[in-house]
Chains A and B, each alone.
Chain A
Amino acid sequence: MESSQFFAISSIAYILAMVAYIAYLVFKSSTVGIVATTITTTGFISQTIAFFIRGKEFYDIGQMGIMRAIPLTNLYESLIFFVWCLILGYLIIEWKYKNRSFGAFVTPIAGMALAFIDITGMSKAIQPLIPALQSNWLLAHVTLSFIAYATFALSFATAIMYLAVTSEGKKSGAYIFWTATLGIFLVVLIAMGLDFFVAGEHLDEHGHMVKSGLFRATFKNASGGVAALSYLAALGFMFIMWKYGYVFKKIIGSFSISGEMLDDLTYKCIAIGFPIFTLGGLIFGAIWADQAWGKYWSWDPKETWSLITWFVYAFYLHARFMRGWRGKRIAMVAAIGFVSTVFTYLGVNLLLSGLHAYGGV
């Protein structure tokens, strides 16, 4: 079998797992929970196999040794690796905390990343390494960055859950923040799901990124009416989120997850992710840039956004030492940190231009 088949199995598994975890959250049936875990684990194993097969395929094409055959060289492969790390991190948490309810928050992030790959139609082909990418520093940089991104994604999930559990009253800032953030997240997820089913034929067969593929079915629809309707529906959805957000709170509350535990988990994820990001994302990236371009820091958009993300998490770590900042406020900082991470990762490539060849689409 080829790697793409195993990747396909894992993608389907993660999307099914997302449904299963949400069903588990709603129905609280332990059978459903076990099914969800089994599906996720199957997907994870399949993806691990796929990763190795793709490495082998890569090795055969490049003929440059094992270190140049690690499939982490373009946006597609990095997204896949991100999902792999995220699921691994999640499975560890599920096993350590004996609690499955996080799954409903984590698997949608994985589902979103996978849907994003297909909707945008980014190239899945194995591309030979151009000279600038033939570097061990780059390899270490990319690997560690995505491990860090995955821990940040987990901290995002727990921070939002924390806010859901602890916020009181519909007018409080924390409540509005978490319902709005989760609302936008779900709107994007649903819009991407619609793209996936409705606008599939807009994919570019040449394997090139079609920027307009994203939101083709909704906000960027060719028909102005549909687009306007999509915005209205999104607003409506956000309103419903705000109005009935407390239901979430009840559901999560019924799983005996305390706010304290969520706060602690958020901190732990960031406490692992921050040093890894510093070392891998910033330092190794700088060393690579120095070797390849002769400059360890040039303030290009990708570097600058990494620095912004780093500062947001530094803010998080320091705010814990400031009076009145524990709890809800720093959970919001953690959530913003992940938004900044996503922008560093995708926004810079899709929206801003830079000299970074890596992940160029």
Chain B
Amino acid sequence: MVDKKENQNIIDRIWSLFSSVTLAVINFSAISLTSIVGTIIEQQAEPERNIKLLSKFFGDSAPTVYKMLDTLGFTDMFRSWWFITLLFIFAANLIICSIDRLPAIWKVAKEPIKPIPPDRFNSMPIKREIVLKMRLDNAKNIVEAGMKKIGFASNQHEENELQFYAEKGRYSRLGVYVTHFSIIIILIGAVAGIFLGFNGSLNLLEGTTSAVAYSFGTAKEIPLGFEIRCDDFDVSFYDNSDTPRAFRSKLAIIENGKEVLKKEIEVNTPLRYKGITFYQSSYNFSSNKDALFLFTMTPNNGKQEDIQFGFDEPFKISGTNVTGKVADFSPALGMDESGKLFTYANLMNNPAVFIEFSEGGKVVHKQWILKRYQETWKTPYGIAVFKDLWGVQATGLQVRKDPGVWIVYLGCLIMGIGLYAAFFMSHSRIWVRLVSDKNNTKVYFAASANKNKISLEQKIDKLIKSFGG
């Protein structure tokens, strides 16, 4: 290919450049080396952050270095024109290389094994020779059965002499090409996702509904085509510790005013509807006047009942003249060393509500009730179980539409198959000649394998042993 450079026209030259493995490894290096820079320089970050980082290496000239890197696109390099170009060359390289070599390899993969002339037995990578003390007819049956036992269903050829030949894993030769093809599929899927999908986010307060998401960065509204409502958000913790165990949102999909789907999502189990996926990604706490406290109240000599009330809304304890009223609330009540109370997190780690009980307009009792601690539920007027404060937590959803993701996954599956064929399968071939020699039979073995020759050799030796040869 390279030798005939003189007579090649420009198209041929480009073709041979793009079908070369050399270009591939140069490109691997280029992508890797530039990517290293991309992991050191923080991508899409505020300039100050990177200038601070650079000043560790370059001192006072950091701003200049930053400017240079910024101009070259290194501050957002995975989207820069030259990085995309490298990926483009990568794809073109793969496609052209595959087209260039496919006919030859296809021929090999399609061509079934043929008998070989006796003199080629000596030049095979694996060769063995034994004498069986039996006539050809018997030997023939034994050899054929033995071949079958090690997984080689033999073909038979009889011209001047008897020859068995068999092969396994011929199509595994295509594994490399399947692998390369899968990379192209994955790239197509990725591009499809970029052009046909979107990536956004949505903060939904408990009890509210939205028909749009907001795109990352630009915060532009993206209509969903349906409405989504958050019915509840909840964080659970490991054994009253502050290590979160699960984040859960109860979501409902509403289409044309009708509720069509309800699902509870968690991190790692998103909700999919009409090609749009909602992921549990964050949470917020916002004080909200309309929030409701949910309690289960069991008065001292009364029946258990569920009650709910707002911040400024006194509630009556049935069977008494006592009313309760929220005086204070903390989502995460903690106590410092001097015994002072404070709020230590803005998540509902340890929700606590301070209730003032009054009778005849006079405050008669005040008490903190903590959701986590049963001891605090007992009041002079009965048991007050603090179940939840509803309407103050907002679930942070990541909203994504990516029609390419299934193409990407298909590519991954194909890659798995291709790699398996390329590395864990081999194309192995065996030929056996049987030559009658008086009452005995001489048996000649020849074999080859493109991978894992040793294992084939061991198989043949075991077979020979089983013949007692």
Q: For the complex, what is the distance from the CA of A275 to the CA of B424, rounded to whole Å?
A: 9
**Binary flags per residue of A163-194, CB closer than 8 Å to B gives 1, else 0:** 00000000000000000000000000000000
Contact of B39 among A131, A134, A305, A318 (CB under 8 A): A305
Assuming the contacts A283-B415, A319-B25, asked whether A296 and B405 have C-beta atoms less than 8 A apart, the reply is yes
B39 touches A128 (CB 8 A): no
B398 touches A293 (CB 8 A): yes
Specify which chain A residues have a CB less than 8 angstroms from the CB of B190 in the assembled complex.
297
A299 touches B267 (CB 8 A): no
- How many B residues touch A, CB cutoff 8 Å? 48
Specify which chain B residues have a CB less than 8 angstroms from the CB of A12 in the assembled complex.
none
Stretch among A43-51, A154-162, A208-216, A309-317 lining the B interface: A309-317
Among B88-129, those with CB < 8 Å from A are none
Chain A residue nearest to B33 in the complex (CB): A308
Contact of A131 among B199, B266, B409 (CB under 8 A): B266
Among B372-426, those with CB < 8 Å from A are 398-400, 405, 408-409, 412, 415-416, 419-420, 422-424
A-B contact pairs, 21 of them (CB 8 A): A130-B243, A131-B267, A132-B267, A134-B246, A135-B268, A275-B423, A287-B409, A287-B412, A291-B270, A292-B267, A294-B270, A294-B279, A294-B399, A294-B400, A301-B39, A307-B32, A311-B32, A318-B21, A321-B21, A322-B25, A353-B42
Specify which chain B residues have a CB less than 8 angstroms from the CB of A132 in the assembled complex.
267-268
Taking the closest CB of chain A, its distance from the CB of B448, in whole angstroms, is 17
Specify which chain B residues have a CB less than 8 angstroms from the CB of A301 in the assembled complex.
39
Q: For the complex, what is the distance from the CA of A278 to the CA of B180, rounded to whole Å?
A: 13
B32 touches A312 (CB 8 A): yes
B300 close to chain A: CB less than 8 A: no
Taking the closest CB of chain B, its distance from the CB of A165, in whole angstroms, is 21
Specify which chain B residues have a CB less than 8 angstroms from the CB of A352 in the assembled complex.
39-40
B281 close to chain A: CB less than 8 A: yes
A293 touches B40 (CB 8 A): no
Specify which chain B residues have a CB less than 8 angstroms from the CB of A279 in the assembled complex.
415-416, 419
B244 touches A308 (CB 8 A): no
A87 close to chain B: CB less than 8 A: no
Specify which chain A residues have a CB less than 8 angstroms from the CB of B21 in the assembled complex.
318, 321-322
B58 close to chain A: CB less than 8 A: no
A361 close to chain B: CB less than 8 A: no
Specify which chain B residues have a CB less than 8 angstroms from the CB of A293 in the assembled complex.
279, 281, 398
Specify which chain B residues have a CB less than 8 angstroms from the CB of A307 in the assembled complex.
32, 35
Assuming the contacts A293-B281, A322-B22, asked whether A130 and B416 have C-beta atoms less than 8 A apart, the reply is no
Chain A residue nearest to B40 in the complex (CB): A352
Chain B residue nearest to A347 in the complex (CB): B39
B78 close to chain A: CB less than 8 A: yes
Among B416-438, those with CB < 8 Å from A are 416, 419-420, 422-424
Chain B residue nearest to A134 in the complex (CB): B268
A131 touches B415 (CB 8 A): no
A272 touches B423 (CB 8 A): yes
A315 touches B39 (CB 8 A): no
Taking the closest CB of chain A, its distance from the CB of B389, in whole angstroms, is 21
Taking the closest CB of chain A, its distance from the CB of B84, in whole angstroms, is 13
Specify which chain B residues have a CB less than 8 angstroms from the CB of A291 in the assembled complex.
268-270
**Binary flags per residue of B234-254, CB closer than 8 Å to A gives 1, else 0:** 000010010111110000000
Taking the closest CB of chain A, its distance from the CB of B52, in whole angstroms, is 13
A348 touches B398 (CB 8 A): no
Interface residues of A (CB under 8 A from B): 127-132, 134-135, 271-272, 274-275, 278-279, 283, 286-287, 290-297, 299, 301, 304-305, 307-308, 311-312, 314-315, 318-319, 321-322, 348, 352-353
Q: For the complex, what is the distance from the CA of A44 to the CA of B83, rounded to whole Å?
A: 46
| Smallest CB-CB A-B distances: 4 pairs | A294-B279, A275-B419, A131-B267, A301-B39
Q: For the complex, what is the distance from the CA of A131 to the CA of B270, rounded to whole Å?
A: 13
Specify which chain A residues have a CB less than 8 angstroms from the CB of B279 in the assembled complex.
292-294
Interface residues of chain B: helix, strand, loop or mixed (majority): helix
B307 close to chain A: CB less than 8 A: no
B344 close to chain A: CB less than 8 A: no
Q: For the complex, what is the distance from the CA of A321 to the CA of B21, rounded to whole Å?
A: 8
Q: For the complex, what is the distance from the CA of A272 to the CA of B424, rounded to whole Å?
A: 8
B355 close to chain A: CB less than 8 A: no
Specify which chain A residues have a CB less than 8 angstroms from the CB of B335 in the assembled complex.
none
A292 touches B268 (CB 8 A): yes
Chain B residue nearest to A284 in the complex (CB): B412
Among B55-103, those with CB < 8 Å from A are 78
Q: For the complex, what is the distance from the CA of A321 to the CA of B180, rounded to whole Å?
A: 15
Taking the closest CB of chain A, its distance from the CB of B180, in whole angstroms, is 11
B43 close to chain A: CB less than 8 A: yes
B162 close to chain A: CB less than 8 A: no
Assuming the contacts A132-B268, A272-B423, A278-B415, asked whether A299 and B38 have C-beta atoms less than 8 A apart, the reply is yes
Q: For the complex, what is the distance from the CA of A322 to the CA of B25, rounded to whole Å?
A: 10
Q: For the complex, what is the distance from the CA of A127 to the CA of B241, rounded to whole Å?
A: 12
Specify which chain A residues have a CB less than 8 angstroms from the CB of B199 in the assembled complex.
294-295
Chain A residue nearest to B77 in the complex (CB): A299
Specify which chain B residues have a CB less than 8 angstroms from the CB of A275 in the assembled complex.
419-420, 422-424
Specify which chain A residues have a CB less than 8 angstroms from the CB of B22 in the assembled complex.
322
Specify which chain B residues have a CB less than 8 angstroms from the CB of A315 in the assembled complex.
25, 28-29
Taking the closest CB of chain A, its distance from the CB of B54, in whole angstroms, is 14
Contact of A308 among B35, B43, B243, B266 (CB under 8 A): B35
Taking the closest CB of chain A, its distance from the CB of B320, in whole angstroms, is 41
- Given A299-B38, A308-B32, A318-B24, 11 more pairs with CB closer than 8 A: A134-B267, A279-B416, A283-B416, A287-B412, A291-B268, A291-B270, A294-B398, A304-B35, A304-B38, A322-B25, A352-B39
